[in-house]
Structure 1
Amino acid sequence: MTETKRGGIALHWLMLLGFAVGLGGGLWVNLTLGAETAWVIWVTDNVTGPAGQIFLRLLFMMVVPLLFSALVIGVAEMGDLNSLGRAGIKTLLLTILVSGIAVVIGLVMVNLLQPGRGVDPAMAQQLLEQGRDGAAGIVEKAPESIQLGDFFLDLVPSNAVTAAAENQILPLMVFALFFGIGLVMAKSPATDRLQEVIEGLFEVTMKLINLFIKLAPFAIACLMFNLAALFGWDLLVRLAAFVGVAVGAMAIHMFVVYPLVIWILGGRSPITFFRAVREPMVVAFSTASSNASLPVSLKAAEQQLKLPKKIARFVLTVGATANQNGTALFEGVTVLFLAQFFNIELSLTQQVIVMLVCILGGIGTAGVPAGSLPVVAMILVMVKVPPEGIGLILGVDRFLDMCRTTLNVTGDLVLATVVSRGEKDDPVEPVDPMEPEDLPGAARRGLKHGTAG
C-alpha cells in the first residue's frame, strides 16, 4: 500500500490510529461496563456495527469486476509467450508451483500451531451470528458441504453471469482465465481494443478501491470496538498469535524454499543470490509495493545477477502482477485463522479449495491496492466464516504487508533466476530500467496507481 495521505498523515498511520482507538475503547467497555450494558448494545447494533458493515459491503461490491478484470489482464499480459516460448511456459508453471508451496506452508503452520483457538465458544458464536447478518445473506448461499467430484464439475460455470451474480468465485476465476487465454490466442485489432476496455475496467476498479480504502481508519475503529468489547484480552492474544504464525510461515518460505529453488533449479549459490538482491528486498519492505520495487529489481537482475535482459524484463514484469507468493500465503493463513477463531472446522477438501483460490487469487489480485481484502472476504464467505472478521487483522496488516511484499519481490527474482538458466540474451538496444515507459503495460499501471504488494 502506498503512502496515501489524509490531511498530511499517511493512511497507514490513520489505520493504526483507528485500530488503537477502537481496540482501546472496546477493551475499556469490556473490562468496566461489560458487553451486555444497554447503551453498549445500542451503539454496537446501530452505530459501529453498521459503519463497519458498510465498509465491508463496499469491498464486496468490487469483487466481481476486480477479479475478472485483473485475472484477464494478468493472463493477457503473458501474450509474450509466443516470442519467449519456453520462458513463458516455465514462468507460468513455476508461479503455480512456488505459490502452491507457499500456501501449503501457511496452511500447515496454522493447523499445527492453532493460533485462532482458545476463544470462548459462546462469544465466538455470538459474533458468528452477527457476521451472518452483516454478510447480507451471502454466507447462507454457501454450500453445506463440498464433495471433491462436485467441486471439479462446478469449476466450469454453465453461465458465467449467473456465477458472478451468485458470488461463485472459483467458476468466475476459471471463466476469467479462459477469457484471458482467448485474448492471447485471438490477437487482432478488435481483441486489442477489447483488452483496452478490460484494462479500463481494471483501472476504474482500482480507483474505486483506493477511494473506499480511505474509509478504512473509521471502519477499523468501528470493527475493532465491536470485537474488543465482545472478546476483551482474548483478542490481543489471538492477534499476536496470528502475526507470529504468518511471519513464521513467510520466513520458512523465504529462507528455506527460496534457497532450495535457487540451488536445485537455478544452479546458483543462495548466499550469492541473496547478496545480489538486498537492495530490492529493502525497497520492497520499506514501500510495501511490488510495483514500486520493480525498477530496482530489474536493475539488480541485470547488473548483479547478470540475467539475460529479455528474460529478466518479461519474468519480473509478469511476476509483479502474477507471482505473489506472499499474498497467497497470507490469504490462506488469514482464512484458516479466522475459521479457528470462530470455531468453524474446515474439512481437508475445503482447505484444498482454499489453497486453490489463494493460488488463483495471487494472480487475480496482484498489484491492486488492498486487493487481497476482497479475495479474503469472498473465501471466508465460501467456507461460512463471518467476513467482518477481517477487521481483526486490518490493524496489523501494514506490517504483514511489508513482510509479504518482500516475499513477493524476492520470489519474482527467484523465478527470473530459474527461468534464465540456460538462456542467452539477444542483442537489444540499451534501455534504462528506471524509466516507467519502458515497462510492459501491467508494470506501468502499477507505477501509475501506486499499487500494493
Structure 2
Amino acid sequence: MSANPASTAAGSPSGSGFRIPKVPFWAQIVAGLVLGVVLGWITRTYDIGWLYTTLDKVGHIFVQLLKLAVAPLVFFAILVSITNLRKVNNAARLATRTLLWFMITSLIAVAIGLTIGLITNPGSGTGLTPKDGKLPEHAGSWLDFLTGIIPDNVITPFTELNVLQIVFMAAVAGIAALQLGEKAQPILTLSESVLELLQKALWWVIRLAPIGTVGLIGYAIADYGWDLIGKYATFTADVYIGCALVLFGVYPLLLATVAKLSPVQFFKGAWPAIQLAFVSRSSVGTMPVTQKVTERLGVPKEYASFSVPFGATTKMDGCAAIYPALAAIFIAQIFDVQLGVGDYVLIAFVSVIGSAATAGLTGATVMLTLTLSTLGLPLEGVGLLMAIDPILDMMRTATNVAGQALVPVIVAAREKILDHDAYNSATSSPVDGDEVRESEPQKVAVAA
C-alpha cells in the first residue's frame, strides 16, 4: 500500500524522503509584504537602479495579468449570474434586497468618511499647495457616466477595458437569454464553460500574489518614500481608520444585529478574499475568490453567482464612499474652498449612485473626478492624490471586497436561505481553484 499523500506532504517521517511543509497562503502574503518593504527601503536608501526597475516590472506584470482576464471575466460572469436567477424563486425580490443593502452600507460608509474628514481636517498643515496638483488624464462627469454606459460598438469596451459598458452588454445579453428560454441554452452552456476556463486561469495568477506583493509594495516604498507619505499622514490615516471602522465596526454590527450571525465566523470565511484584495487592489481580480468564500459562508451558489459579480462592479464602500468623501474635504482645504451641508449631501448622493464608475479596477480616479466635478472642486486636486493612491487603494479594496461578501450573507440570512451549518463551520483556509460545493445546485426558494 502506498504512503498517505497528505502525511507525506506534511513532512511525515513515513515518507521515503524529507518534504518541506506547505506554507499557508496568508503567510506567503505576509512574507511578501515584509520583503517588499525591506527591498523598497534598500532601493530608495542606496539608490539601486536595477532593483527599482525589477520591483516595478514584477508588480506591473502581476497587475497586468489580473487585468488580462478582467474584460471577458466580467462579461461572462454577469451574463451567467443573470441567467442563474432563473433558478431562484422571487429573483426580483432578492435582487432588489441586494441593491438596497448595497445602498444602505454605502450611505453608512460615506457618513463615516465625512465625519472623520470634518474632525481631522486632513488638508490642513500638509505643506501642499494648489500648484502641486495637476489635471488628470481622464475625468469623469455625470454626462459621461450616463451616456458612456452604452458603447458605440461591441469591440471597443473590451480593448479599452471600459467595465461599465461591458456590464451593460452582459446584462442585455443575460436578459435576452432569459427571454429566449431553451433556445439560448447552447449559448449559456458555452458561457459557463468559458467562465470556468477564465476562473481557472485566474487561479494561476492569484497563486503569484505573494511575488506580486513584493513588487507592488517594494516599488511603492522605493518610489514614494516615507517623506512623501509624511505629507499625507493625516489623510492616509483617515482613509485607513475610516475603512477599518467600516470593515471591523459596521460590518460586524450589521452581522450581529441584522443577520444574527457571528462576525468572527464571517471574517474566518471571508479572509482569503480580503487579503487577496489588499494585495491585488482589484475587486474584479478577486471576484472568483470572493464568490467561493461567499458560498463557503453558506450563501446558495445560485444567488452568490449573481450577487458577487454584481457587487464586484458596483459595491465599493472603500473606493466610492469613504475615499471620495475624505478626498473632497482634503482637496477643498488645499484649494481653500468652503463646503456646505448641501455639498456633503451631494457627496453622499454621488457615492451611492455613481459607484459603478469605479468598475472594480485598481484605483478610484474616475469616481474621484466624478465627485469633484459634481461639487465644482478643481480637478487638479486629483493630481495631489495620485502619488499616494496605491498605498490607499490596498485598504480601500479590502473594504470593498469584504462588503461584497457581506451583503449576500445578510440578504441570505434575512431571506432564510443561508446554510447556517456551512456558515458556522467556515474556516480561513485558502480557497483552491478546484473547490466546489458538495451539494448539487438546487432551486432556491426565497421566503415570502
**2:194 corresponds to which letter in structure 1?**
L
Whole-angstrom CA distance in 2 between matches of 1:409 and 1:145: 29
Q: Deviation at 1:91?
A: 0.8
Matched with 2:186 is: 193
Whole-angstrom CA distance in 2 between matches of 1:219 and 1:249: 27
Report if the CA contact (8 A) 1:76-1:183 is conserved. yes
Whole-angstrom CA distance in 2 between matches of 1:40 and 1:337: 38
User: 2:26 matched to 1:12?
Assistant: yes
Matched with 1:178 is: 172
**1:24 corresponds to which letter in structure 2?**
V
- Trace 1:398-437 onto structure 2 (pairs within 5 A): 404=403, 407-408=406-407, 410-417=409-416, 436-437=438-439
**1:249 corresponds to which letter in structure 2?**
V
Structure 1 residues 342 and 206, CA, compared in 2 at 3 Å: closer, same or farther? farther
Matched with 2:151 is: 157
Taking structure 2 as the reference length, the TM-score comes to 0.62
Matched with 1:209 is: 202
- Trace 1:40-59 onto structure 2 (pairs within 5 A): 40-41=48-49, 43-44=51-52, 46-59=53-66
1:98-153 Cα shifts (integer Å, max 9, x gaps): 1122223333333442499567759x979x99xxxxxxxxx84x3x351x244322
Whole-angstrom CA distance in 2 between matches of 1:7 and 1:388: 38
The number of residues matched between the two structures is 359
Whole-angstrom CA distance in 1 between matches of 2:113 and 2:270: 24
Report if the CA contact (8 A) 2:357-2:366 is conserved. no
Deviating more after overlay: 410-419 vs 218-227: 410-419
Whole-angstrom CA distance in 2 between matches of 1:104 and 1:200: 37
Structure 1 residues 397 and 18, CA, compared in 2 at 3 Å: closer, same or farther? farther
Structure 1 residues 331 and 182, CA, compared in 2 at 3 Å: closer, same or farther? farther
- Trace 1:371-390 onto structure 2 (pairs within 5 A): 375-377=360-362, 379-380=364-365, 383=369, 389-390=389-390
User: 2:76 matched to 1:69?
Assistant: yes
Q: Deviation at 1:209?
A: 1.9
Q: Deviation at 1:387?
A: 10
- Trace 1:123-162 onto structure 2 (pairs within 5 A): 140=137, 142=138, 144-146=139-141, 148-162=142-156
Report if the CA contact (8 A) 1:68-1:176 is conserved. yes
Report if the CA contact (8 A) 1:258-1:411 is conserved. yes
Matched with 1:224 is: 217
- Trace 1:202-281 onto structure 2 (pairs within 5 A): 202-229=195-222, 230-232=224-226, 235=229, 241-251=238-248, 253-254=250-251, 270=257, 273-274=259-260, 281=266
Whole-angstrom CA distance in 2 between matches of 1:110 and 1:247: 11
Matched with 1:90 is: 93
Structure 1 residues 198 and 356, CA, compared in 2 at 3 Å: closer, same or farther? farther
Unaligned runs of 5+ in 2: 1-9, 11-19, 274-289, 335-342, 370-381, 419-435
Report if the CA contact (8 A) 2:291-2:304 is conserved. no
Whole-angstrom CA distance in 1 between matches of 2:195 and 2:265: 27
Whole-angstrom CA distance in 2 between matches of 1:224 and 1:255: 29
Structure 1 residues 327 and 168, CA, compared in 2 at 3 Å: closer, same or farther? closer
Whole-angstrom CA distance in 2 between matches of 1:153 and 1:323: 22
Structure 1 residues 167 and 435, CA, compared in 2 at 3 Å: closer, same or farther? closer
Name whichever structure is richer in helix by fraction: 1
Structure 1 residues 326 and 19, CA, compared in 2 at 3 Å: closer, same or farther? farther
**2:85 corresponds to which letter in structure 1?**
M
**2:24 corresponds to which letter in structure 1?**
A
Taking structure 1 as the reference length, the TM-score comes to 0.62
**1:274 corresponds to which letter in structure 2?**
K
Report if the CA contact (8 A) 2:43-2:49 is conserved. no
Structure 1 residues 248 and 278, CA, compared in 2 at 3 Å: closer, same or farther? closer
Structure 1 residues 121 and 441, CA, compared in 2 at 3 Å: closer, same or farther? farther
1:306-340 Cα shifts (integer Å, max 9, x gaps): xxxxxx88656755665679963244358649968
SS, match of residue 317 in structure 2: helix
Deviating more after overlay: 91-100 vs 111-120: 111-120
Q: Deviation at 1:154?
A: 2.3
1:402-425 Cα shifts (integer Å, max 9, x gaps): 954763454233442499xxxxxx
Whole-angstrom CA distance in 2 between matches of 1:56 and 1:228: 17
Whole-angstrom CA distance in 2 between matches of 1:438 and 1:295: 14
Structure 1 residues 96 and 250, CA, compared in 2 at 3 Å: closer, same or farther? same
Matched with 1:446 is: none
Matched with 2:87 is: 80
Unaligned runs of 5+ in 1: 130-138, 260-269, 299-311, 362-373, 420-433, 443-453
**1:297 corresponds to which letter in structure 2?**
G
